[in-house]
Amino acid sequence: MKDVAAGNNNRTVLEGHVHAPLQGEKPAGRTDPNSQLQVTLLLRRRSELPELCSAFGSKFPHTRQHLTREALAAQHGPISEDIAQVKRFAIEHQLELGESAGYRHGVVLSGTAASIERAFGLSLVEFEHPRANYRAATGSVSVPHELSGIVQGVLGLTTRPCARRTTVHHDTIKPFWTACEMAKAYGFPPSLNAARQSIALIELGGGYHIEDLQKFFSSLSMPMPSIRWVGVGGVENSPAPADQVRQFLDVVEGKRKLADVPEDVLIVAQTTLEVTMDIELAGALAPGAEIVVYMAPNTEQGIHDAVSQAISGRETPPASLSISWGEPETGVSDVYLNSVNEVLRDAAMLGVTVCVSSGDEGAMNGSMDGKPVVNFPAASPHVLSCGGSAVKSVHGEKVLESAWNCALHGMRGATGGGVSRRFQPPQWQEKHGVPLAPTGSEGRGVPDVAGPADPHRGCALIVGGECCSSAGTSAVAPLWAALIACINSTLNTRCGYITPLLYELAKHNLKPLREITEGNNGFYEAGPGWNACTGLGSPRAGALIAALRGKAEPAR
């Protein structure tokens, strides 16, 4: 932060809010001054959040270190005097202050665009882009001097899409196996279930048809799980009609040209397919779990608020949280990266295991500078980052895999992975052979684990009444989220921040994961031990439970 003079008032500039333009965007004029907007103010915390590596170490479970929401609020929540100061600011600028909840350090302000511009000393501009039309702030973002140090950032000024999935994920060739067959191959014991657990899914658009889910679970002779959706920022469950899903699948199969299908149809159909995939995989692999789907806008504010609500909106935090979205970490603003990373740290402190896909565009990942770049939030040290494998053969529980890197109808997909340019290496990755980042410095290695991502070896799904195949690292995150929920139920504990423990188990040559030593992601090669394609490897669920059982203590 730095102080500046704005008119006759001293104001403080909030750094880290520089608009990250999308290639091809075009200005379309000022935002309507009478339009109603909402922004999330990020407030300082009562005390600094701890570094989890030193706080938790590699012990399992972390039950004694996990905090209740009340304890987290008391130790690291917002300061009541700060909220009172923000309330005065809101009244002065004709803005409405929403309710603040517990430890959550974000509070919502609502008002007209003109009021928002005056309050934060900026101009709001509309942009047009093939992906979406959006709003962004021009000029510095600032607050009155009396809020200096209190307000850490503002989310919602920009609505630029900040996460993506690619159209390579699916193919309607005959699926390789059912979810039950995949679970058996990856060592899920037949009796494994996730009774009394819940899994949260973060979704950014689209939706699901209940008829698809009923048909899917009936095909597996499984009872329909408890599934409900929660709207964030006004977003609802809005699935694409079946005919639009069919058009999208025709494009992926090569039966129809991409240019023949309207962009908006492709987007809503793809997101519908992705939402449905997450629900069907999580529900099938974690029988008995409740599935809660958080529908949010594809914006910085939307993702931040969805994750915050997912870990705080219910009486008990979920066992696991799956995020199959992300974008190159070099393209996100500092305020977004830091604020979401803080919420992910909150999740770890509450005992929620956050599973995030590493991306589907290989190591280069659409890089703008010709150097490898990893996705965020997969690069956060507080998550379990999930890469992708390609299944080559299956004989019982003996699965032969390579790093996922394939072409499908002219489109190429490969597991994301590499070394972060934004996050320092966590201590639990020491001595695991993580190379230097493209900048020549040390960084957090991505991913941590892997799972089946090749569309030629995907699970059977039902979307829009059609049978298609799961694929991409988007399918790996819900797989791991389901496994974590099952482990929690089986061991009567919370895995929580399990990532350091997996590295500890690998270091001691325990084998709860299957190393993947073949293939590449366009820059990095797979190999023994940790690698920047498939991390420590894919799950051997029974062996992982056995390894954890030897270290587990009853939940308190």
Which residue in 458, 460, 361 sits closest to 405, CA to CA? 361
429 within a domain of the structure (yes/no): yes
Both 362 and 508 in a single domain?
A: yes
Task: Check residue 46 and give its pLDDT.
Answer: 84
Task: Check residue 64 and give its pLDDT.
Answer: 40
Task: Check residue 422 and give its pLDDT.
Answer: 96
CB atoms within 10 A of CB 17: 23
Task: Check residue 100 and give its pLDDT.
Answer: 61
- Considering the chain, what percentage of its residues have pLDDT values greater than 70? 90
Both 36 and 86 in a single domain?
A: yes
Which residue in 379, 374, 373 sits closest to 344, CA to CA? 379
Task: Check residue 75 and give its pLDDT.
Answer: 81
Each residue of 39-94: pLDDT tens digit?
Answer: 999 999 887 777 775 444 444 444 346 777 778 877 888 888 999 999 999 999 99
Range in 58-67, 90-99, 426-435 with the lowest mean pLDDT? 58-67
CB atoms within 10 A of CB 179: 26
> Tokens 């420590």 identify what position?
536
Task: Check residue 25 and give its pLDDT.
Answer: 86
* 420, 444 contact by CB (below 8 A): yes
Each residue of 168-193: pLDDT tens digit?
Answer: 444 446 788 999 999 999 999 999 99
Structural domain boundaries enclosing 115: 2-44+79-155
Each residue of 207-227: pLDDT tens digit?
Answer: 999 999 999 999 999 999 999
Each residue of 257-304: pLDDT tens digit?
Answer: 888 888 888 889 999 999 999 999 999 999 999 999 999 999 999 999
Both 183 and 138 in a single domain?
A: no
pLDDT at 103 over 70: no
- Considering the chain, what percentage of its residues have pLDDT values greater than 90? 70
CB atoms within 10 A of CB 29: 9
56 within a domain of the structure (yes/no): no
Each residue of 384-409: pLDDT tens digit?
Answer: 999 999 999 998 888 999 999 986 55
Both 135 and 207 in a single domain?
A: no
Mean pLDDT of 307-330: 92
pLDDT at 414 over 90: yes
Task: Check residue 410 and give its pLDDT.
Answer: 52
Mean pLDDT of 421-429: 95
| Active-site position among 117, 203, 274, 329 | 274
Active site annotation includes 278:
yes
Both 455 and 310 in a single domain?
A: yes
Mark 189-213 as b/e (b = at least 16 C-beta within 10 Å): eeebbbeebbbbbbbbbbbbbeebb
- β-strand pairing of 198-203 with 320-323: parallel
555 within a domain of the structure (yes/no): no
Task: Check residue 57 and give its pLDDT.
Answer: 43
- CA separation (Å) from 210 to 80, 213, 214, 230, 279? 43, 5, 6, 15, 11
Those residues whose C-beta lies under 8 Å from the C-beta of residue 373, and which sit 6 or more positions away, are 328, 329, 330, 364, 365, 366, 367, 418, 421, 438
Each residue of 512-532: pLDDT tens digit?
Answer: 899 999 999 999 999 999 999
| Active-site position among 367, 474, 489, 538 | 474
Both 522 and 420 in a single domain?
A: yes
251 within a domain of the structure (yes/no): yes
pLDDT at 309 over 90: yes
Task: Check residue 164 and give its pLDDT.
Answer: 62
Separation between Cα atoms, residue 457 and residue 469, nearest integer Å: 8
Both 284 and 143 in a single domain?
A: no
Each residue of 334-352: pLDDT tens digit?
Answer: 999 999 999 999 999 999 9
pLDDT at 38 over 80: yes
- CA separation (Å) from 129 to 25, 136, 204, 240, 297? 5, 13, 18, 22, 17
Separation between Cα atoms, residue 362 and residue 525, nearest integer Å: 11
- Give the CATH number, domain containing residue 369: 3.40.50.200
| Active-site position among 117, 203, 278, 454 | 278
Both 303 and 397 in a single domain?
A: yes
pLDDT at 477 over 70: yes
Q: Interhelix angle for 69-76 vs 334-349, to 10°?
A: 130
3-state secondary structure of 282: helix
Which residue in 547, 534, 516 sits closest to 399, CA to CA? 516
Task: Check residue 165 and give its pLDDT.
Answer: 55
What is the count of structural domains for the chain? Answer: 2
Active site annotation includes 250:
no
pLDDT at 461 over 60: yes
In angstroms, how far is the first alpha carbon of the chain from the final one?
A: 42
E-state strands within 409-448 = 411-414, 418-419, 445-446
167 within a domain of the structure (yes/no): no
Task: Check residue 551 and give its pLDDT.
Answer: 63
64 within a domain of the structure (yes/no): no
pLDDT at 353 over 90: yes
415 within a domain of the structure (yes/no): yes
- pTM comes to 0.93
Active site annotation includes 305:
no
pLDDT at 20 over 80: no
3-state secondary structure of 430: coil
> Tokens 């590499």 identify what position?
418
pLDDT at 2 over 80: no
Q: Which tokens go with 10?
A: 């001293």
Q: Which tokens go with 192?
A: 């494994």
Task: Check residue 101 and give its pLDDT.
Answer: 54
- β-strand pairing of 375-376 with 327-328: antiparallel
> Tokens 């075009």 identify what position?
26
Task: Check residue 457 and give its pLDDT.
Answer: 87
Each residue of 489-503: pLDDT tens digit?
Answer: 999 999 999 999 999
Phi, psi of 419 (to 5 degrees): -130, 130
Separation between Cα atoms, residue 108 and residue 135, nearest integer Å: 18
More confident call, 234 vs 553: 234
Task: Check residue 1 and give its pLDDT.
Answer: 52
Both 93 and 209 in a single domain?
A: no
More confident call, 8 vs 535: 535
Task: Check residue 143 and give its pLDDT.
Answer: 96
Give the chain's mean pLDDT.
88
Both 121 and 237 in a single domain?
A: no
Both 368 and 301 in a single domain?
A: yes
73 within a domain of the structure (yes/no): no
- Residue at which a domain ends, from 109, 140, 155: 155
Task: Check residue 510 and give its pLDDT.
Answer: 66
Displacement of CA 196 from its chain's centroid (Å): 23
Separation between Cα atoms, residue 233 and residue 250, nearest integer Å: 32
Ramachandran sector of residue 528 (left: φ over 0; alpha: ψ -120 to 50; beta: rest)? beta
Q: Residues 285, 203, 271, 242: is their CA dihedral positive or negative?
A: positive
- Residue at which a domain ends, from 122, 155, 188: 155
Which residue in 535, 128, 101 sits closest to 527, CA to CA? 535
Both 120 and 189 in a single domain?
A: no
Task: Check residue 55 and give its pLDDT.
Answer: 42
